C-alpha cells in the first residue's frame, strides 16, 4: 500500500483520537482520575463483578497493576470489592453508585461533544464513518501483529550464550 496514504490515514486517526483529549484532561484534573483508572471503570461497567485477573486480561496488563488501580478507586469510593461466593480466594470488583455517576458524566459529556461534530458531518457521513471504524476494528483483529524490526531486547537476546 502507498506509504503516503498510510501516513495520511494514521495522521487522521491520531487526530480523531485526540479529539476527546480535552475531556480526558478535565476529568483527570476534576476527578483526579488517570486514563488507566477510567479504563478500569469502563471495563467493570461493561461486566460487573469481574475478578482482578479478568480485568487484567481485559486491559492487557498485569494483575498487580490492576490491584493498585482497584486500591485507589476503592479508596476514592468508585469501586467496591467482594469475596467470590464460590471461591473465597477470588475478589470480585463492582462499581459503586459514585462510580456509575462519574462514568455517566464522562459518557454524557463525550457524547455531547462529539454530537456537535457529527451534526456538521450529517447522518450519512456519520453512518459511513461508523461502518469504516467497524471494518478497521475487524481488520485489525484478523491482522497478525509482527514488528517490522526486532526490538532491542530481541536484538540482544542470545548474545550472552
Spans of the chain, pLDDT less than 70: 144-161
Domain 3-143: give its CATH code. Answer: 1.10.10.10
**CA 44 – CA 33 distance, rounded (Å):** 15
* Res 160: pLDDT: 46
Domain limits, the chain: 3-143
**Residue 153 pLDDT:** 56
CB < 8 Å & 24+ apart, contacts of 45-48: 45/95, 45/99, 45/100, 45/103, 48/94, 48/95
Full-model pTM:
0.69
pLDDT at 107: 86
What pLDDT, on a 0 to 100 scale, did the predictor assign at position 63? 93
Amino acid at each position: 500500500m502507498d506509504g503516503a496514504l498510510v501516513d495520511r490515514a494514521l495522521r487522521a486517526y491520531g487526530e480523531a483520537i485526540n479529539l476527546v483529549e480535552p475531556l480526558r484532561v478535565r476529568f483527570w484534573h476534576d476527578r483526579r482520575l488517570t486514563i488507566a483508572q477510567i479504563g478500569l471503570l469502563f471495563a467493570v461497567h461493561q461486566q460487573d463483578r469481574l475478578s482482578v485477573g479478568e480485568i487484567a486480561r481485559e486491559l492487557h496488563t498485569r494483575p498487580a497493576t490492576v490491584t493498585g488501580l482497584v486500591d485507589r478507586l476503592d479508596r476514592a469510593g468508585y469501586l467496591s470489592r467482594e469475596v467470590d461466593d464460590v471461591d473465597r480466594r477470588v475478589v470480585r470488583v463492582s462499581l459503586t453508585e459514585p462510580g456509575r455517576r462519574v462514568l455517566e458524566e464522562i459518557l454524557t459529556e463525550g457524547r455531547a461533544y462529539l454530537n456537535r461534530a457529527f451534526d456538521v458531518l450529517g447522518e450519512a457521513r456519520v453512518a459511513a464513518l461508523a461502518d469504516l471504524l467497524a471494518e478497521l476494528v475487524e481488520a485489525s483483529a484478523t491482522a497478525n501483529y509482527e514488528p517490522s524490526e526486532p526490538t532491542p531486547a530481541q536484538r540482544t537476546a542470545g548474545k550472552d550464550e
